[in-house]
Structure 1
Amino acid sequence: MVIVHGYESSPDANWFPWLQSALEAEDIQVTVVPLPDPQDPVRTAWENAVSTALGVPDTTTVVVAHSLGVVTVLRVLETLPEPWELGGLVLVAGFTEPLAALPELDGFLATDVAVERVAPSIRERTVLRSDTDPFVPPKASDDLARRLNARLQVYPGAGHFMAEDGVTRLPPLLDLIRSQ
């Protein structure tokens, strides 16, 4: 199990520690990737960190990514030599295009991801979004779910799924992972 945080975050922020503890209590090995310089992300550095943590995925591998970590994970998957297969991918507050609310990330997001190309290699695909996200418009997450041919789950009032939004636990996410 690999968990990837997002912009201005860390492995010990938001719901990541709770999820890691819950999974480890069930004897599931968890890696929460510490992305370098999360306040000023550099695309290659983030991709290298995720690539190192992920290695070569297989049908037992599940990846959970949040926010800018979503784009990073998808880019790493896009570069894997085929064939490869991932057991599950859960994208929380996911998007792939520049966001009006975060223009400082435009350079990081300048090129799109070949989402449609990676989708067939991922067994279970789910996108979680809120209806009150101040950074990622619902359409951005909806478009990602459509392009991935993924299930879309909407959590009312969850904001950007951060501690500041009151989200320090995400039990439906744990249930999703258990079902994969």
Structure 2
Amino acid sequence: MKSALILHGTNATTNDNWFPWLKEKLEAKGYQIWLPQLPGADKPNIARYNQFLLANKDFKFNEDTTIIGHSSGAVAALGLLQALPVGTKVGNCYLVSAFTHDLGWESLVDLFDPPLDYAKIKNKAKKLIFIHGDEDPYCPLAETKALAADLEGEMKVVPGAKHFSISTDGPNYQKFPFLLELLEKKKQQEVI
């Protein structure tokens, strides 16, 4: 069965931004969705998140699994890929507004624990697809482009977009049609 894991960012909840909208759209397409409230989202941490995510034995990680992460949730998605057992590979992983360091924010100082190991991440997903706004006020575009290159991922830059959140882009980001269309396009390419 097709499944998707959606990971929110720092200080967010499962009801914020475009997360409930995407959950509903993917469920209508037959996906089993897991949109968890990440523990301690005010001070995200890869190790804590992995312990929580990998403890759910009802959600299986395999090539029918799509992972979507936003902001620190994108970093958490990379950390999760790194922690998956050797031989486990998921479908596509969509990393929205990803970054590689704490950005000078006190709330993010423990996020990269353990540090990301790109060699362990690269082959754990069919494709790594990075989505970034060219006007993101938090996460430098150049940093995300370098991350995508280091991980041999695909880079999608959305002109005029900021952080793909209601707080930066306004109420339009209660939905995220660009992401949904990209998911559908990539899924169709797999079938062909």
TM-score by length of 1: 0.90
Contact in 2 for aligned 1:50/1:72 (Cα 8 Å)? no
**Pair 122,41 (structure 1): closer, same or farther in 2 beyond 3 Å:** closer
After superposition, where does 1:112-123 map in structure 2 within 5 Å?
112-123=115-126
| Match of residue 82, structure 2, among 78, 84, 89 | 78
Contact in 1 for aligned 2:65/2:91 (Cα 8 Å)? yes
| Match of residue 180, structure 2, among 171, 174, 177 | 174
Please identify runs of 4+ aligned residues in structure 1 that moved more than 4 A.
53-56
After superposition, where does 1:58-137 map in structure 2 within 5 Å?
58-100=62-104, 102-109=105-112, 112-137=115-140
**What SS is found at the alignment partner of 2:91?**
strand
**Pair 59,7 (structure 1): closer, same or farther in 2 beyond 3 Å:** same
TM-score by length of 2: 0.85
CA displacement, residues 30-65 of structure 1 (integer Å, 9 cap, x when unaligned): 110210132233443322223235855211110000
Distance in 1, matches of 2:88 and 2:160, equals: 36
Structure 2: unaligned runs, 5 residues or longer: 188-192
Query: How many residue pairs are counted as aligned between the two chains?
Result: 179
Structure 1: unaligned runs, 5 residues or longer: none
Seq. identity, %: 28
| Match of residue 37, structure 1, among 40, 48, 72 | 40
**Pair 33,27 (structure 1): closer, same or farther in 2 beyond 3 Å:** same
What is the Cα deviation at residue 67 of structure 1? 0.8
